[in-house]
Amino acid sequence: MASVRPERFAPVVADWFLRTLRAHSEFDTGVIDLLDTPLPTDLTDSATATAYRARLAAADAFVVITSEYNHGYPAALKTAFDTAKREWRAKPIGFVSYGGLSGGLRAVEQLRQVVAEIHMVSIRETVSFHQAKKQFDAAGETQDGAAIDAAERLLGQLAWWARTLRAARTTDPYPG
């Protein structure tokens, strides 16, 4: 979860996506909430950063839940990407975004450039919630059919890329 703002909406979106994700047995899911992972913004090493990189290294795939702030992604997310290096390489990443009229899609388009630079594979399908606070009921459920469908497609693509890239990294280590 990328947002670290007080009164953030991220937990609503993340909880919905996690329920969807956990219905797929091929995934063993962990959560990194950047609010609870205080990474040094000057990128110095710390016990938190070391533990964070170890979690990334153990993972085969990632999904970022991100808001859009001022037509971009949260600063805490950039720090999270920059804190690691080789741990990201040759691994797939999907995006679930939320926001106002754009649904966070401008942030996702910027993030695709960042993840390409760190040698990740960006999943084409994206889940986005436009006017996100209106898309969820009091129980944290959504009736947004486009988002529900996109989540299923994203997860299918993510699973395929995770399997394929894990096998490739095992038999032929990534040269980056």
**Which tens digit of pLDDT belongs to each residue from 87-97?**
999 999 999 99
In a domain, 176, yes or no: no
- Alpha helix stretches (DSSP H) within 23-104: 47-58, 75-83
Q: 176 pLDDT exceeds 90?
A: no
Domain containing residue 106: 10-171
Q: 101 pLDDT exceeds 90?
A: yes
Cross-strand pairs, 63: 94
Phi and psi at 78, nearest 5°, equal -65, -40
Task: Give this prediction's pTM.
Answer: 0.96
DSSP 172: S
90-112 mean pLDDT: 97
Q: 120 pLDDT exceeds 90?
A: yes
Instruction: Domain count for the chain, please give it.
Output: 1
What amino acid occupies position 58?
A
110-131 mean pLDDT: 98
In the chain, DSSP assigns E strands to 62-67, 92-99, 121-130
| Residues contacting residue 79 through CB under 8 Å, at least 6 positions apart | 39, 40, 41, 43
CATH number where 154 lies: 3.40.50.360
In a domain, 3, yes or no: no
**Which pLDDT band, with edges at 50, 70 and 90, does 30 fall under?**
very high
In a domain, 147, yes or no: yes
In a domain, 21, yes or no: yes
